[in-house]
Every structure is written in structure tokens, then in C-alpha cells.
Amino acid sequence: MTKLIIIMLSAVFINNYVLSRFLGICPFLGVSKKLNQAVGMSLAVIFVMLIATAVTWPIQMFLLEPGNLGYLQTIVFILVIASLVQLVEIILKRYIPSLHKSLGVYLPLITTNCAVLGVTILNIDEGYTFIEAMVNSLGSGLGFFLAMVMFSGVRSVIEGADVPKAFRGLPITLVAASITSLSFLGFSGVIENLFA
């Protein structure tokens, strides 16, 4: 149990996907402008990360490894994720239209999101069990959510600021992201001492 809590907390705070691992920067910069969009995108990411892990972990353990096909990991994972996202979108559209309306627009964007492929590969690399892998995916998704929500708040402040011309738009957003990620550095080393 302690191990699960450690995995969870370190995925949310210390190894935050966006702010310290640099995965999923595109949606972080692209969709963080308004709070409701940031929330929608993050929920979609959490959702896809969980189902992607639930599918790719068994594939790796029960198909690729027994068959000595570990080298096919990259190809298989990206294809599985891409088709999974399509499938989920179709199912949502047919059976839960209200959820499709709020999350659907973000789903296709996630196919080529490196955070999702990253979390599935890292789960294998770290040698997690199925439960640990699912907890890690949930934690990574929550970390993404936290970063997106925090950053959309920061961005709404930048909107009204008087910024030098060359810095307008993306550059100042990146500088703000730098300061946001600085605040997350404060968490490093917390976990080691938490359960000591």
C-alpha cells in the first residue's frame, strides 16, 4: 500500500509529466487558455491514459514478452492507442452523447500526445505490476490535470499584462511555465522522507 501511495504522489507532484518530464507540452500550451477547456482536456487525458494502460500492459506481458517480440513495442503501442481512442470516441458518441460533447473534441488530439504513449512505455520500463501501472497512470493524469488548471490561472493573469512586443504570445507563456515549474521543484525530495 505504501508503495502505491508513493507511486501516486511522485507521479502527481515530483515527476509531474508536464512540468518536470516535458511530456504533453502541446496541449499544455495550446489548450490551457481557458479553465473549462483545460479541465475538459485533462479529463480526457486521464481517461485515455487509464484505458491505454489497461490495454497495453496485458499486451506487453501476455503477447509481446512470451513471443519475444519486445522490439515491436513502439509500433504496437501507438497503433493500439490510436485505434482505442477512435473506438472510445465512437462508443461515446453513440451511447453517452453528453460526455462525448464535453470530452469528444479533445479525444482525437490525444492520439498523438506523447504523454499517453510515454506513460504506457514508462509503466513497462519501471517494471510495475498491473495495479501499480494503473495507479501510476491515474497519478500522471492527475498531475497533468493539476498543471493544466494551475497554468490556466496563470495565463488568465498574463492576458491583461503589458508585455514587450517580441515576448507576446508564446514566449511569455513559456517564461510563465518556467516559473510554474519552479514551484514544483519544491516538492523534490519530499517523498523520500515522507515514509521514512
Partner 1 sequence: MSKIQNFLKGIVKENPVLVLILGTCPTLAVSTNVLSALGMGAASTIVLLCSNIVISALRNVIPDKVRIPCYIVLIAGFVTMVQMLVKAFAPALDNALGIYLPLIVVNCIILGRAEMFANKNKVIDSAVDALGMGVGFTLALFLMATIREVFGNGTWLGIEIPVLIDNHISIMTMAPGGFLVFGILIAVVNKVLNNKNPKKEFGCEGCPSADICGKKTCGDKEAE
Which residues would be at the binding site for partner 1 (CB under 8 A)? 19-27, 29-31, 33-34, 36-37, 40, 71-75, 78-79, 82, 105, 108-109, 111-114, 117-118, 121-122, 125, 164-175, 177-179, 181-182, 184-185
Collapsing DSSP to helix, strand or coil, 47 comes out as helix
Q: Which three cell numbers stand for residue 36?
A: 473549462
- Tell me the C-alpha distance between 82 and 108, whole Å: 8
CB of 54 to partner 1, least distance (A): 20
User: Three cell numbers at 40?
Assistant: 475538459
Phi, psi for residue 66 in degrees, rounded to 5: -60, -30
Closer to partner 1 by Cβ: residue 19 or 46? 19
**Grid coordinates in use for 81?**
492507442
34: left (phi over 0), alpha (psi -120 to 50) or beta: beta
Q: Which is nearer to partner 1, 29 or 61 (CB)?
A: 29
Counting every residue written for the chain, the total comes to 196
CB of 161 to partner 1, least distance (A): 14
Pick the closer one to partner 1 by CB: 142 or 152: 152
- List of residues 6+ apart from 182 with CB closer than 8 A: none
Q: How far is the CB of 5 from partner 1 (least distance, A)?
A: 24
CB of 152 to partner 1, least distance (A): 10
Q: Looking at beta carbons only, is 37 or 55 nearer to partner 1?
A: 37
Cβ-based nearer residue to partner 1, 69 or 91: 69
